[in-house]
Amino acid sequence: MEQAFRVDLRGVVDLLSHHLYGSPRVYVRELMQNAVDAITARRAVDGAAPAQVRIETPAQTGDGSIRVHDSGIGLTEPEVHELLATIGRSGKRDSLGFARHEFLGQFGIGLLSCFLVADEARVLTRSVRGGPTVAWTGYADGRYQVELAADQRAEPGTTVTLRPRQGMEQWMTATTVTELATLFGSMLPFEVTVDGQAVTEPDLPWQAPHASPHDRAAALAGYAEDTFGFTPFDSFDLDCAESGLTGVAFVLPQAANPAAKAGHRVYLKRMLIAESVTGLLPDWAFFIRCVVDAAELRPTASREALYEDDLLESTRDALGAQVRDWLVELSVADPARLTQFLNIHDLGVKALALHDDDMLRLVDRWLPVETNVGRIPLAEFRRRFDTVRYLPSVEEFRQLAAVANAQGLGLVNGGYSYLTEILERLPAIDPDIRVTRLETSELATHFDMVDPEVELALRPFLATAQRALDRLDCEVTLRTFDPPSLAALYLLDRDTQHRAELRATRAIADDLWSDVLGAFDTDHGPDRPQLVLNHRNPLVRRISGLADPRLATMAVEALYSQSLLLGQHPLRPVDTALLNRSFVGLLDWAVHDNPGES
């Protein structure tokens, strides 16, 4: 058997008025919004109709109440029942015209925000269609009553009267109401006054007339200081015809956290919906704060955020393209200023370069990156070297930068945010660009062989060194390379590391998983890292001439430990034990052979 839902009106009013909105302050915005919509509706019928919203605070009323008067279209008694007492129905609103896109919102739900600060809302309204003034009184518990008003309005329009609930008086003081009316309604196209003082401006800040571009830029900078609290690095206009959006973007003068969601000041048909709306710009544009006014974007039910739909997505893409165009134009018109910008906001530009070829070209040409020949743009690096070699971690780069430079190899530090991905994307803008990750095995091929006679004479030492490192799964190699100050270099390429990890996992896995992992262990190349001793280093030459095998072993172990630390490689327990043992052993030898005076 079908039955209708039973609705607790008191619960619905409590839900909408106390949980739909983020703060009691929005009641001023909702009252102004309803008033502006009523004026818009009247002017659609009579273009010469008066357009004014008057707000009276307790300083004027004298009885603690707040009154909002408008010169709008007004309502008849049937319309009062339909619009003010029916929650969730839209059909009648459509026929009356209050659901068209010209209006900020719809009567009914917005009025419920009054119950955030008051237990009772009283509406006096007279329609331009004729009829007497109707009084509607709504209560926070869900009740309402409609009656003919004792005091008839002389002109069409509406007056809303609120008396503060106990404890909410601060929300209706003259200072608070003036601040809120200015915050939400300063850009409204109709005059809004609070206690006789206008709070609206005649022009949007980015559309106000100015004597010169310099004056306009200075005015926008002042607006950013007042609105956001910073003097912008630069500003530029935004627009999107599809969503009826105009506005201005302000570039932050200091680095911003790319993980933080950028909040923007968004107006809907010149009414502020929120001061920190997210999702208006792409995530990579975290260095931008903007103020916009849109005609077609949809707000959420609380009108404190934007509804995520196809129109918002296309608007976001259009605004992102305009941010990108500003960067490209800056690179052409003022390269020095672009360099200044990149020094502040390189992360945002690099994030955009991951997806946009134009921005990738800009990064390639202008953004300085860390290389083993200094901080230079990638384009300059490619002019010096035929191949862009890189290492994906800062630690690897710092270990091998000087060595690679000494061998005549250019090396880029790809360990910073987005840089490895950018380097691998370079062939997208020029197929002739060669980009490769530097493998340690490749670096070793550039080292010089030791003279055969010298190597033959050092075989006993090399055998001793290899025995010392066999238990550490490390190969010992003797080479000559620059810089001579580097005694030894620990080299571990990706393939070797992968094979070592695979075989270590097989050793502790059960039979089933060991067989499965064995299927991947098909590479029979060298499976141990290398400790390359530099024969050009004076210390290595002295160590290789030691006659005491025990002392030579401790010295090689010390070189191995130092190479791990310099390369910031992770230390296994066996490596840590070796480091301690070789250090203590060398100290013991030094003290034993060079005793202090007694």
Say which range, 202-211, 396-405, 584-593, has the weakest mean pLDDT.
Answer: 584-593
Residue 265, pLDDT above cutoff 90 = yes
Residue 433, pLDDT above cutoff 70 = yes
Residue 516, pLDDT above cutoff 70 = no
What pLDDT sits at residue 309? 92
Residue 107, pLDDT above cutoff 70 = no
Residue 91, pLDDT above cutoff 60 = no
Mean pLDDT over the full length of the chain? 85
Residue 98, pLDDT above cutoff 60 = no
Give bridge partners of residue 365 from the DSSP assignment.
Answer: none
What pLDDT sits at residue 95? 44
CATH code, 448-492+529-593: 1.20.120.790
Q: What one-letter code names the amino acid at 401?
A: A
Highest mean pLDDT pick, 42-46, 80-84, 505-509, 525-529: 42-46
Q: Which of 322, 318, 311, 323 has its CA nearest to residue 286?
A: 323
Q: Does domain 213-323 have CATH number 3.30.230.80?
A: yes
What pLDDT sits at residue 572? 82
CA 422/CA 353 separation, integer angstroms? 7
Cα atoms in the Cβ-side hemisphere of radius 13 Å centred on 447: 27
Residue 315, pLDDT above cutoff 60 = yes
Mean pLDDT of 427-456: 87
Please, which pLDDT band fits residue 462 given cuts at 50, 70 and 90? very high
Please, which pLDDT band fits residue 90 given cuts at 50, 70 and 90? very low
Residue 282, pLDDT above cutoff 80 = yes
Give the dihedral sign, CA 18/20/21/27: negative
Q: What one-letter code names the amino acid at 225?
A: E
Pick the residue with more confidence: 258 or 18? 258
CA 245/CA 237 separation, integer angstroms? 11
Residue 496, pLDDT above cutoff 60 = no
Residue 108, pLDDT above cutoff 80 = no
What pLDDT sits at residue 231? 95
What pLDDT sits at residue 240? 96
What pLDDT sits at residue 160? 95
What pLDDT sits at residue 514? 58
| CATH code 3.40.50 region(s) in the chain | 367-444
Please, which pLDDT band fits residue 509 given cuts at 50, 70 and 90? low
What pLDDT sits at residue 302? 77
Would you say 417 and 352 are in contact if contact means Cβ atoms under 8 Å apart?
A: no
| CATH code 3.30.565.10 region(s) in the chain | 9-198
Q: Which of 387, 412, 320, 385 has its CA nearest to residue 359?
A: 320
| CATH code 3.30.230.80 region(s) in the chain | 213-323
What pLDDT sits at residue 202? 83
Would you say 426 and 363 are in contact if contact means Cβ atoms under 8 Å apart?
A: no
| CATH code 1.20.120.790 region(s) in the chain | 448-492+529-593
Please give the C-alpha separations between residue 105 and each of 245, 308, 550, in angstroms, as whole numbers: 18, 18, 88
Please, which pLDDT band fits residue 113 given cuts at 50, 70 and 90? confident
Mean pLDDT of 286-311: 90
245-251 vs 288-294, strand pairing mode: antiparallel
What pLDDT sits at residue 258? 74
3-state secondary structure of 131: coil
What percent of the chain is modeled with pLDDT above 70?
Answer: 86
HEC secondary structure over 318-386: HHHHHHHHHHHHHHHHCHHHHHHHHHHHHHHHHHHHCCCHHHHHHHHHHCEEEEECEEEEHHHHHHHCC
Residue 222, pLDDT above cutoff 90 = yes
What pLDDT sits at residue 109? 63
3-state secondary structure of 263: coil
CATH code, 367-444: 3.40.50
> Which architecture does CATH list for 9-198?
2-Layer Sandwich (3.30)
